[in-house]
Chains A and B, each alone.
Chain A
Amino acid sequence: MIDLPFLRKAEIEAPPDIEAASLRSDKFRIEREGDWLRLDRAVTALEKDRPGRISDEDLLALPVLYRQAASSLAVARETSLDAATLAYLESLVRRAWFQVYGPRTSFGHWLGRFLAGGWSAAVRSIWLEIGIALAVMLAGTAVGWLLVARDSAWFDALVPGGMADERRPGASRDALAETLSGTGGTDGLSAFAAYLFSNNSAVAIMAFALGFAFGIPTLLLLVYNMASLGAMLWLFSQAGLGWEFAAWLSIHGTSELLAILLAGAAGLHIGRTMAFPGTRTILAAASASGTRAAHVMVGVVIMLAVAGLLEGYARQLVADTASRATIGGAMLLLWVSYFLWPRARGSQP
């Protein structure tokens, strides 16, 4: 075997003879530095996520080595003026603390628990905010519908220009029906799906992040988004295409609107607990609700990935109104039953 210097394992150098040191604090250090370096090696392996590199006896000794290093630090602070050694011990003990008391679950294990109950438990625990967000979204849709029904000039204000293209007040029924038909091929659909996923996730995450300011911007965002939906709904139902439009929308919309509802509710949850923290401090209340809301948000991103696929592929390939409505309804049923399905206790986040 070729012996390359950069492949060679760093060996712990033998400490100098204790008698060579003339200071008592240096003798103290030389007596213990072998153990410190042993701990250092184990911690470095843990930090690199390579626990296999630690020998069995080092692994067994890890808690003892950690406590020894911590007690060495306590003694050295009172007896030694060697700044470099003190700084080394401080950093070693801090690094070791994070490894010894660090998170014990891997990401895969966390994801398993999340899907098996953590997610739906988090969703159920913010039921109040979900109710508020749902009411706000319905109100937003109604507002959009009523505004445009009274004066169609509102349509331009509510629907962003890029989205409207030929879908405008005054367009013929055929032109509107044309926008609802599938394109018939798969060309460009995966790019379209990925784009929709990325864009919708950004909007949902924004709805969540804006909840920080006591939830008010989240409410505005929900109202605005739903008002443009209401305007669209009015436009199509005017032309007698209300049911077709609803089916066209529902194929991905049930997943997407539910995801936006949950994201908005998660944002509101943070805003509400910060405004009314109860007996806890604001900081404690914010971090408790923040972690619960983050649970919901990971799920929202998953839902939006599903919605993006449905929107990119299924909506373009399935042109039949009844099948569109069936897929949309089935997705809604699937999500709601997933969240409400009774589970064994103890899966709270």
Chain B
Amino acid sequence: MVALVSVGLEVLDSEDIGSSPALEFVVVLLIVVLFFARFGYFLWFELGPRGATPGKRAVGIRIAARGGGRLTAEAVIARNLVRDVEVWIPAVFAVSGGAGLGGAVGWAAGGWLAVFVLFPFFNRDALRAGDLVAGTWVVEAERRKLLPAMSVATPSTSEYRFGEAELGVYGEHELQVLEAVLRQGSPEAERQVMEAICGKLGWEAGRGDERAFLEAFYTALRARLERNMRFGRRKKDKLS
């Protein structure tokens, strides 16, 4: 425990610095940059309107106050200060091979640090210790684009006609898989899906008209499922 404390930024020997003003300026800059990289980076970005660092934004998550309140500056500061014991000290401890602590003391210190490192894996909301102290959590906040409406592309005068029996085979899950295939627009995937559907319906799958067939089938199936939905009858998937 005691030696853990002395593990810090012991990289610079202050006696050697000061031989030239330019070098001194670089060293000052380096120390300040390192300090802000350690704390300022997270504070600056998480206090901004997006509530996320660029990394968090890239994976589509952000910080929010637990319980739906406002995210306050103090909460962001608290969650980032605790990062020290959760990330930096264990990292230094691991890299330095137990910080020179041997035997039982080393194991005890390692085990104690593991409590912090493993904390997110042992609670329902995957809170890390900093989130717990600050009253925050990390939520999904993906940014999506509005994709075109599906039934606009389909001419309502399609030559395909589907009866109740044919449309009754599939449910909402299959409809949304079909939607993903249509939005993706890969001919091979469309061919495979068409063969699967025709096999299920007992139809002969023709060639060269996959897209039109799938769009017509999608529209008819969605119209049926949505109509039933309005009457309170939902069909989750083909098994239900």
Residues on A lying within 8 angstroms of B by beta carbon are 16, 20-26, 29-30, 33, 36-37, 40, 46-49, 78-85, 87-88, 91-92, 94-95, 98-99, 101-105, 107, 110, 160, 162, 187-192, 194-195, 197-199, 201-203, 205-206, 208-210, 212-213, 217, 220-221, 224-225, 270, 283-284, 286-295, 297-298, 349
B 107-158 contacts with A by CB, 8 A: 112, 115-116, 129, 132-136, 141-147, 149-152, 154, 156
User: In the bound complex, do residue B9 and residue A199 qualify as a contact, i.e. CB atoms below 8 Å apart?
Assistant: yes
B residues near A, CB below 8 A? 1-2, 5-6, 8-10, 12, 14, 17-19, 24, 27-28, 31-32, 34-35, 38-39, 47-51, 62, 64, 66, 70-75, 77-78, 81-86, 89, 112, 115-116, 129, 132-136, 141-147, 149-152, 154, 156, 172, 175-176, 179-180, 183, 219, 222-223, 225-226, 229-230
Q: Which of B6, B147, B226 has the most CB of A within 10 A?
A: B226
Q: Are A80's CB and B73's CB within 8 A?
A: no
Of the residues A91, A202, A293, contact of B144 by C-beta under 8 Å: A91
12 new A-B pairs (CB below 8 Å) besides A191-B18, A212-B129? A21-B151, A22-B156, A79-B226, A87-B144, A88-B145, A94-B141, A190-B28, A199-B9, A202-B84, A206-B85, A206-B89, A290-B134
A194 touching B47, Cβ below 8 Å: no
Contact with B81, one of A20, A87, A217, A297 (Cβ below 8 angstroms) = A297
Interface class of chain A by DSSP: helix
A21 touches B149 (CB 8 A): yes
The residues of A that contact B146 with a CB separation of less than 8 Å are 33, 36-37, 40, 85, 88
Looking at the assembled complex, report how far the CB atom of A336 sits from the nearest CB atom of chain B, in whole angstroms.
Answer: 23
Name the contact of A84 in the complex, choosing from B70, B147, B223 (C-beta under 8 A): B147
Q: Could you say which residues of chain B place their CB within 8 Å of the CB of A99?
A: 49
Contact A283 B132 (CB under 8 A): yes
**Across the interface, which residues of A come within 8 angstroms of B17, CB to CB?**
188, 191-192
A26 adjacent to B152 (CB under 8 Å) = yes
Whether B77 pairs with A294 at a CB distance below 8 angstroms is yes
**Closest Cβ–Cβ distance, residue B94 to chain A (whole Å):** 17
> Which residues of the other chain, B, contact A92 by a CB distance below 8 angstroms?
144
* Known A-B contacts A201-B35, A224-B2; A25 and B49 likewise in contact (beta carbons under 8 Å): no
Residues in chain A near residue B85, CB distance under 8 A: 206, 209-210, 212
Our pick among A30, A82, A284, A292 for the contact of B179 (Cβ within 8 Å) is A82
Beyond A91-B142, A291-B75, is A30–B149 a contact (Cβ under 8 Å)? yes
Please name all residues of chain B whose beta carbon is closer than 8 Å to the beta carbon of A191 when the two chains form the complex: 12, 14, 17-18, 24, 27-28, 31
